[in-house]
Structure 1
Amino acid sequence: MSAQSPACQLLERFYGQTAHLWPVAPPADPWLQDHSTAMISGDMALRQQWLTSGKIAASPFDVPITQQDGQVVLFWPKAHQLGIWWLEWLCCVLPENTPVDVVGEHQGGIKRVPKILGEFGMRCDKLDNARRCTLFATRTVAIEKSDNTWQTFEALGVTLVSHPGVFGHGKVDEGTLLLLESIASSLPKKPLNVLDVGCGDGIIAAWLAKQGHQVTAVDVSAFAVEASQRTLAANGLEGRVLESDIYSALEGESFDLIVSNPPFHQERAITYGPSARLIEDAPRHLTAKGQLILVANAFLPYPNVLEGAFGSFDILADNRRFRVYQGRLQ
């Protein structure tokens, strides 16, 4: 588990060791987990950490949400519109006038919160300021739930439904475009059983389903799962979308093709762990002569991992910024 985050250092300073919290959209933080009764997060892997320690953890898309004991603390995300969504969500699921504290780092946009709270008609009191973080106090108000943060746009002949905080929100990533170009020229014409790992808003899954392939899409983010489900529905396409930490929901399943544009950022830190697991465990989830095709920034150290998992690999495309790798079972 990670070291204490600056925002949690501020919370510890303000609440002390008797803190009794109900965090919403929290970071991975040992102090916070110890001083929480329950948590709400769109991150399946983080929820599993809380559950493993005997705490209650839920997704914002779970129904119904039951308020737990403890002070509600919203960790302000760096995606501004996602923060607005969380505020709206809290006002809809909690009784009116429920105390809510909002904490975040200055470089993550917490200083914009007073203005946003004012636009909601919510009070705002500054409680503390340290570690380049600020803690505000507010209370929920009665509002009607809207879908305004969901964005619909067209790309590659597909209607995409996107949400703030989901990778590629509102646009198609350059790496994804290169990946799909490579797939279009390298896949056989027959329908394949395909797994899209880290599906985001569902662009890869929808594009493949439109070509007639049988698609399963997975993501660790509940927001991405919801976005991909909406994308498939918007295009009248069939497909299975699951919340999964890489292959965790797919025990015993195999696919002809695993395709991915894997993330390598967790907040602002670079991490290769999920991508390494994606590559290393791929052979166990591939059929005979199955293949893994992924796109990554050219500087990322994936060739060694691919060689270890498959013995060899091919580079299907390289535009200097991104590379498309192929590992194939012999």
Structure 2
Amino acid sequence: MSAQLPACQLLERFYGQSAHLWPVAPPADGWLQAHSTAMISGDVALREQWASSGKSAASPFDAPFVEQAGQVVLFWPKAHQLGIWWLTWLCNVLPENTPLDVVGEHQGGIKRVPKILSELGMRCDKLDNARRCSLFATRTIAMEPPVNAWQTFEALDLKLVSHPGVFGHGKVDEGTRLMLESIEASLSKKPLNVLDVGCGDGIISAWLAQRGHQVTAVDVSAFAVEACRRTLAANQLSGRVLESDVYSALENEQFDLIISNPPFHQEREITYGPSHRLISEAPPHLRAGGRLVIVANGFLPYPDHLQRVFQDFEVLADNRRFKVYRAAK
């Protein structure tokens, strides 16, 4: 486990070693996990980590919903619209007047929380600040369900459904566009068994399903999984959509094509863990002659890793900002 995070250091300072917390959208932090009774997260990998230590862990889309256990603490996300969604959601699933604390780093937007709480009609008391973090206290109120967070927009002749909790909310990433353009001419006309890793709002899955391919879409985020399902439904397309930490939910399944615009940020930190697993563990999940296609920012060091795993790969497209790579089993 990594070193204790600043926001969790603030919680330890305020609550002490007798803390019994019920964190919502928490980070990976050993102290927090040890001093929490249960958690709520959209991240399936984090939920599995907590569950493996005997802690109750649930998604915001689970039903029936897990009961509150301990002091509720919302970790304020980088995307403030997602923070507003969490506040509204908590007001809907918890009894009115339930104590709710909100914590976060100053550079992550926590200073906006008093204004946001005021606009929602919720009280706000400052409890503590340290380590360039702040901790606020509020209470849940009666509020309408957070249905307006889902946004529908059109791109690439498709209706896309997005949510503030999904990467690239409300727009199609430039790299994704480049990747789809680069494979369209060479894509097999016969139906392929395709795996879309890190499906986001489902643009890649819907684009491929629209062309007759059999699609399995996976994402570590419950928000992305729900968005992808809604996108497929909005276009009258079928596909299987699963919560999965890269290949974790797929066992020994194999595909003709694995395609991805893999993430390389976790909040504000650059991380290559998921993308390296995507590449390293691809061969067992590819049928003979199967291909891996990924798009990445041009500066990312993926060619070396592709070379180690596949020995041979090609650059399908390069617009100076993004590169599209294809490797064959």
CA contact (8 A) 2:196 2:218 kept: yes
Which residue of the partner structure matches residue 298 of structure 2?
A: 298
Please give the residue correspondences for 1:1-330 in structure 2 after superposition, counting only pairs within 5 Å: 1-329=1-329
CA contact (8 A) 1:106 1:134 kept: yes
Deviation at 1:252, TM superposition (A): 1.4
Deviation at 1:67, TM superposition (A): 2.4
CA contact (8 A) 2:76 2:104 kept: yes
Deviations 1:228-284 (A, max 9, x none): 000000000011100000011111111000000000001111111110110011110
Instruction: Give the letter for the 1:297 counterpart.
Output: N
Instruction: Give the letter for the 1:203 counterpart.
Output: I
TM-score by length of 1: 0.98
CA contact (8 A) 1:37 1:68 kept: no
Instruction: Give the letter for the 1:108 counterpart.
Output: G
What is the CA–CA distance in structure 1 between the aligned matches of 2:172 and 2:279, rounded to whole Å?
A: 23
Deviation at 1:185, TM superposition (A): 2.0
Instruction: Give the letter for the 2:252 counterpart.
Output: G
CA contact (8 A) 1:217 1:241 kept: yes
CA contact (8 A) 2:161 2:231 kept: yes
What is the CA–CA distance in structure 1 between the aligned matches of 2:117 and 2:67, rounded to whole Å?
A: 21
SS in 2 for 1:315: strand
CA contact (8 A) 1:316 1:326 kept: yes
Deviation at 1:112, TM superposition (A): 1.1
What is the CA–CA distance in structure 2 between the aligned matches of 1:280 and 1:175, rounded to whole Å?
A: 21
Deviations 1:56-92 (A, max 9, x none): 1000000122323210000000101000000001000
What is the CA–CA distance in structure 2 between the aligned matches of 1:2 and 1:147, rounded to whole Å?
A: 36
Unaligned runs of 5+ in 1: none
SS in 1 for 2:183: helix
CA contact (8 A) 2:75 2:104 kept: yes
Instruction: Give the letter for the 1:311 counterpart.
Output: Q
CA contact (8 A) 1:74 1:103 kept: yes
What is the CA–CA distance in structure 2 between the aligned matches of 1:275 and 1:105, rounded to whole Å?
A: 27
What is the CA–CA distance in structure 2 between the aligned matches of 1:105 and 1:114, rounded to whole Å?
A: 14
What is the CA–CA distance in structure 1 between the aligned matches of 2:273 and 2:313, rounded to whole Å?
A: 20
What is the CA–CA distance in structure 1 between the aligned matches of 2:232 and 2:146, rounded to whole Å?
A: 21
What is the CA–CA distance in structure 2 between the aligned matches of 1:138 and 1:37, rounded to whole Å?
A: 20
Instruction: Give the letter for the 2:117 counterpart.
Output: L
What is the CA–CA distance in structure 2 between the aligned matches of 1:129 and 1:266, rounded to whole Å?
A: 24
CA contact (8 A) 1:264 1:270 kept: yes
Deviation at 1:146, TM superposition (A): 3.2
What is the CA–CA distance in structure 2 between the aligned matches of 1:178 and 1:185, rounded to whole Å?
A: 13
SS in 2 for 1:72: strand
Corresponding residue pairs, total? 329
CA contact (8 A) 1:290 1:328 kept: yes
SS in 1 for 2:327: strand
> Once structures 1 and 2 are overlaid, which stretch shifts more, 232-241 or 298-307?
298-307
CA contact (8 A) 2:73 2:101 kept: yes
What is the CA–CA distance in structure 2 between the aligned matches of 1:57 and 1:103, rounded to whole Å?
A: 20
CA contact (8 A) 1:217 1:239 kept: yes
SS in 1 for 2:170: coil
What is the CA–CA distance in structure 2 between the aligned matches of 1:301 and 1:44, rounded to whole Å?
A: 27
SS in 2 for 1:135: strand
CA contact (8 A) 1:23 1:75 kept: yes
Unaligned runs of 5+ in 2: none
Deviation at 1:186, TM superposition (A): 2.1
Deviation at 1:4, TM superposition (A): 1.0
Query: Percent identity of the aligned residues?
Result: 79
CA contact (8 A) 2:89 2:146 kept: no
TM-score by length of 2: 0.99
Q: CA RMSD in A?
A: 0.8
Deviation at 1:183, TM superposition (A): 1.4
Deviation at 1:165, TM superposition (A): 2.6
What is the CA–CA distance in structure 1 between the aligned matches of 2:17 and 2:182, rounded to whole Å?
A: 54
